Amino acid sequence: MEILLQLGANNTAFIQFIVFILSVSFLTVVVYKPFFKAYDERHKLTKGADQVANETQDEAKKLSQIYSARAREINEKINTIFNASKNDSLKSSGIILEAAKTTVQQTTEEARKHVQTQKQSAEQQVKSIAQEVSSAIVNKLTGAL
């Protein structure tokens, strides 16, 4: 105690030390402990929210990849179906065009034959009429009745 007295501390220093300890204890229990408890809660919630956000982003990326893969598959199926339909329609149109060409050729050939027969009959009629006219002219010129 003499050392404390030589340093200038008196009997009130002990009381001040006890008041200091009580003040720090009171502040720790009443002020700092609830503050740190609330801080820890917020930190846990924030950390949890960050983790949930990261998980959600990862899940969104996975779903995006799945969507892209399925979209590619569906697009390939559609292209396959479209190409098959296109090929079928080209084959069908080719068959129809060939049938139409054949029909046109047959019709044209029949029309030519019909025109040829009409031409021949017209030629025969012209020949017979020409013979009759020439006979009539000869008869008139020769005076034979």
Q: With b meaning 16 or more CB within 10 Å and e meaning fewer, what string describes 19-35?
A: eeeeeeeeeeeeeeeee
The ranges assigned to domains in the chain are 2-114
Q: What is the pTM of this model?
A: 0.44
Q: Which residues contact 13 (CB under 8 A, 6 or more apart)?
A: 4
Whole-angstrom distance, CA of residue 117 vs CA of residue 100: 25
What is the pLDDT at residue 1? 60
What is the pLDDT at residue 90? 94
What is the pLDDT at residue 4? 63
* Residue-level pLDDT, tens digit, the chain, 145 residues: 677 667 777 777 788 889 999 999 999 999 899 999 999 888 887 777 778 888 889 999 999 999 999 999 999 999 999 999 999 999 999 999 999 999 999 999 999 999 999 999 999 999 999 999 988 888 888 876 5
Whole-angstrom distance, CA of residue 12 vs CA of residue 20: 12
Structure tokens at 73: 């598959």
Identify the helix (H) or strand (E) that includes residue 132.
helix 33-142
Whole-angstrom distance, CA of residue 57 vs CA of residue 67: 15
